[in-house]
Amino acid sequence: MLLLIFLLLLPAGVSQAQTVTAYSGDHPGFTRVVLDLPPRSEWQLGRRGEDYGLRILPPPAAVDLSQVYRRIGKNRLAGIDWLAEDGELKIRLGCLCHARLTEDRPGLLIVDIRNGAAPANSRFEQSLAPVIPLQLPDNVPRAKPLQKVPFRPVTQHAEALSKSLMEDLSRGIAAGALRPIARIPGPLPEVLPLSDEPAEPPNSDRPEQMTFHNRAPAGMGDPPGTEAQCVSEDRLRIGSWWNGSDAAAALSQSRSHLTAERDLTDPAGLAAAVRLHLALGLGAEARAILALADTTDPDTDALTDHSLWLSLSHLVDSDPEAGYFRNMAACDGPAALWAVVSHPHGSLPPDLNEPALLRAFSELPGPLREALGPDLAQRFLTAGRQDAAFAIHNAALRAASRQSGALTLSAGRLHKSSAPAKQAEFLFREVMRTDTGSAAAALAELAELELQKEQLPQPDLVAALEAMARDHSSGQDGRAVRVALAKARLLSGEHLKAFADLPPPPDPLHTDLWRLLADRGSDAALTESALRADRATSAQLPPGIQLKIGTRLAELGFASAARDWLEPLEAADRKGALALADLALRDGRAALRRIAGEDSAEAAKLRATALELLADAPAAAVAWTEAGEPDRAARAAFLAGDLEASARWLPAPLRKVADALAPPLSPEEPEGPLATARDRLEASSGSRQAISALLANRTTQP
């Protein structure tokens, strides 16, 4: 596994210099150019003014363009040039067209130049950014050689083991086999005295809690019928439970005061020890000490917060225990913080009091801020609250004696949402190199960044994810790795394996994979997966995904399968997709019936295509004009015999033919039969010469 991670961290080597040959072909409605690059190549297609630029990294030694114009003309692709100094292929258009690119397999790029304007959300219409080399500051630490990390086994039964150890020690002391040490040398920790004032508020049925009412302002009607029970702020001042002294000495001192005379438990010493362990983030140890408490003893007034401390001991160990702090997210105190920590599924409660949470988090001891900060920052980042996420991360970073892997991972996630991806990638790779405990989460985040580039994932990435998934079969980090692995397999051609390894359906990963397949999956992957899926699977997906898959199946010619996917949808949503299915069956009349009354541009395109199938060229020309497709309208007008309407869209040789075939506008005077025949012979000779020149031009083009 370490070898795979090391290979992933290595920078991509420079490919051997080689020549790439470009091939082309003409199809109805588009011209295709194909480039077969090395599998590890990266690419970016974008606008260069009125033209397009295809950047290839690493750039090949040369691009052979001699085969481009053997089978196509220059009506769509007016010119194509390789700019070696920029590593960029310049594509010049000769019509009102747009370009889009797909990668059929690693390195096989297919550039389609299609008629008409580009879709509004096309990513290929963005300007191609200049290449700026990444220059890291001198103070940024460079990667060091990999070092062997000693194996440290981690038990999953810390709580049971600690409890068993304390019970054995208690039995040994009671039997006289062991003698407790009265005092361990070292500085005494500062322990705040317990308050003698009762914590019970007036008119409260629960002495350990106070009631917080959400009252409406005056004039806004009756107050709501619900109320939140909030723990008082003085009972959650965890920052005062540890004075910042040496942690090891303070822990030893607190454990020496667990018993009083005659080996009986000392409630005050036990309460102080529990609070100290909680302040240092030692939840399992705090629970073991609480197990020694005799809660039925009337002299244990110091342990009235037993249930509160028990809940906190689970939360500081990242073990959500939502019972005690339920419905306290709106409280104006530390209870809001612990209500969020105990909230399941890593989300935020809708009624969260964010200022109270930030204030309470900044007052926590350093160990707790360092332990809870990364998860809290991720929750706020997922919810779109970047300011609060940065505030929590910075507070945790100030408390840390050194930047741990969890904090570096948190910094990478924050940079991923607000900075160039290179910075986040650097941080994730640094976590994978230095912290084995956070390496799985860092690899999953790095994989998500690679998948967002909308390119096929590299084989090394898939292999590293597979190795990491075998080592992390459970837990939150393991699920993140499995999600990234499923997406990488789907986009790399292993779509059947990606779906086969999923947990059973209501898992949300099913929906995520189908959405990714509908948006970015190859035609082959989408077709095979959609044809294999049963109706129960398709019915569980959101309507938007079903519509995309059905539409793509109809465009690919699978009319029957498209209808099966579109059947559960509302009639208004599936009209256009079903019309596409009718066109795939070459049933133009059925398509016209489905879109009757629709006046959108997409409906106009479908109507024009259906009219062309029915050989109604004049009506098709009108429909293409309404759809904003002047090239297609000119073509239909030419087929309808309207040479005047189509002349300005024709190439120069065909325009001469159209001018020659057009009747004279207004003869000045009638001529005799011989003059008329002579004129017709001259026009026929001119037409033949223009057609011969057009054919010669087509055959002599490179």
Residue 499's identity, in one-letter code, is F
In order of 23, 63, 223, 354, 428, the CA distances from 87 in angstroms are 19, 10, 68, 50, 29
**pLDDT score at 418:** 65
Residue 397 binned pLDDT confidence (cut-offs 50, 70, 90) = confident
Q: Tell me how far apart the alpha carbons of residues 371 and 426 are, in angstroms, rounded to a whole number.
A: 23
Residue 419 binned pLDDT confidence (cut-offs 50, 70, 90) = low
- 3-state SS of 191-257 is CCCCCCCCCCCCCCCCCCCEEEECCCCCCCCCCCCCEEEECCHHHHCHHHCCCCCCHHHHHHHHHCC
Lowest mean pLDDT among 21-35, 152-166, 394-408: 152-166
Element (H, E) at 470: helix 459-471
User: Cα 379–383–386 angle (5° rounding)?
Assistant: 85
pLDDT average, residue stretch 141-146: 51
- How large a percentage of the chain has pLDDT more than 70? 72
pLDDT average, residue stretch 53-62: 87
**pLDDT score at 327:** 81
Q: Tell me how far apart the alpha carbons of residues 198 and 607 are, in angstroms, rounded to a whole number.
A: 81
pLDDT average, residue stretch 347-375: 86
Residue 482 binned pLDDT confidence (cut-offs 50, 70, 90) = confident
In order of 51, 287, 432, the CA distances from 77 in angstroms are 10, 74, 46
**pLDDT score at 260:** 61
> Dihedral sign, CA of 172, 174, 177, 182?
positive
| Three-state DSSP state, 298 | coil
**pLDDT score at 663:** 59
Residue 136 predicted with pLDDT over 60: no
| Nearest CA among 63, 108, 64 for reference residue 87 | 63
In order of 277, 278, 297, 301, 302, the CA distances from 294 in angstroms are 19, 20, 6, 11, 11
**pLDDT score at 537:** 80
Neighbours of 670 (CB within 10 A): 7
Torsion angles phi and psi, residue 222, rounded to 5: -75, 150
**pLDDT score at 160:** 67
Lowest mean pLDDT among 147-156, 199-208, 636-645: 199-208
pLDDT average, residue stretch 542-562: 85
Residue 212 predicted with pLDDT over 70: no
**pLDDT score at 636:** 78
Residue 1 predicted with pLDDT over 70: no
Residue 440 predicted with pLDDT over 80: yes
Please give the sequence-ordered ranges of beta strands (E in DSSP) within 97-154, or none if there are none: 97-105, 108-115
325 with 335: CB under 8 angstroms?
yes
pLDDT average, residue stretch 446-467: 81
Average pLDDT, the chain: 75
- How large a percentage of the chain has pLDDT more than 90? 1
Q: Tell me how far apart the alpha carbons of residues 681 and 676 are, in angstroms, rounded to a whole number.
A: 9
Say whether the peptide bond before residue 141 is cis (omega within 30 degrees of 0): no
For residue range 244-265, what is the model confidence (pLDDT) as tens digits?
888 888 888 887 777 665 556 7
Residue 139 binned pLDDT confidence (cut-offs 50, 70, 90) = low
For residue range 164-192, what is the model confidence (pLDDT) as tens digits?
777 777 766 666 565 555 444 444 444 44
Lowest mean pLDDT among 37-51, 145-159, 603-617, 642-656: 145-159
Q: Tell me how far apart the alpha carbons of residues 561 and 558 are, in angstroms, rounded to a whole number.
A: 6
Residue 612's identity, in one-letter code, is E
| Nearest CA among 380, 456, 445, 448 for reference residue 406 | 445
Lowest mean pLDDT among 14-18, 391-395, 511-515, 544-548: 14-18
Residue 527 predicted with pLDDT over 60: yes
| Nearest CA among 618, 301, 594, 616 for reference residue 606 | 594
286 with 274: CB under 8 angstroms?
yes
Residue 559 predicted with pLDDT over 50: yes
Q: Tell me how far apart the alpha carbons of residues 654 and 227 are, in angstroms, rounded to a whole number.
A: 81
pLDDT average, residue stretch 659-686: 63
pLDDT average, residue stretch 336-341: 87
Residue 15 predicted with pLDDT over 60: no
Residue 231 predicted with pLDDT over 60: yes
Residue 646 binned pLDDT confidence (cut-offs 50, 70, 90) = low
**pLDDT score at 695:** 67
Residue 515 predicted with pLDDT over 60: yes
Strand partners, 46: 53
Rounded to 10 degrees, the C-alpha dihedral 632/634/640/644 comes to 170
Q: Tell me how far apart the alpha carbons of residues 549 and 521 are, in angstroms, rounded to a whole number.
A: 10
Q: Tell me how far apart the alpha carbons of residues 47 and 54 are, in angstroms, rounded to a whole number.
A: 9
pLDDT average, residue stretch 314-329: 78
**pLDDT score at 300:** 59
**pLDDT score at 697:** 62
Residue 497 predicted with pLDDT over 70: yes
| Three-state DSSP state, 593 | helix
Residue 699 predicted with pLDDT over 80: no
Q: Which residues of 103-133 are buried (b: 16+ CB within 10 A; e: fewer)?
A: beebbebebbbbbbeeeeeeebbeebeeeee
Q: Tell me how far apart the alpha carbons of residues 81 and 286 are, in angstroms, rounded to a whole number.
A: 71
Residue 529 binned pLDDT confidence (cut-offs 50, 70, 90) = confident
**pLDDT score at 584:** 83
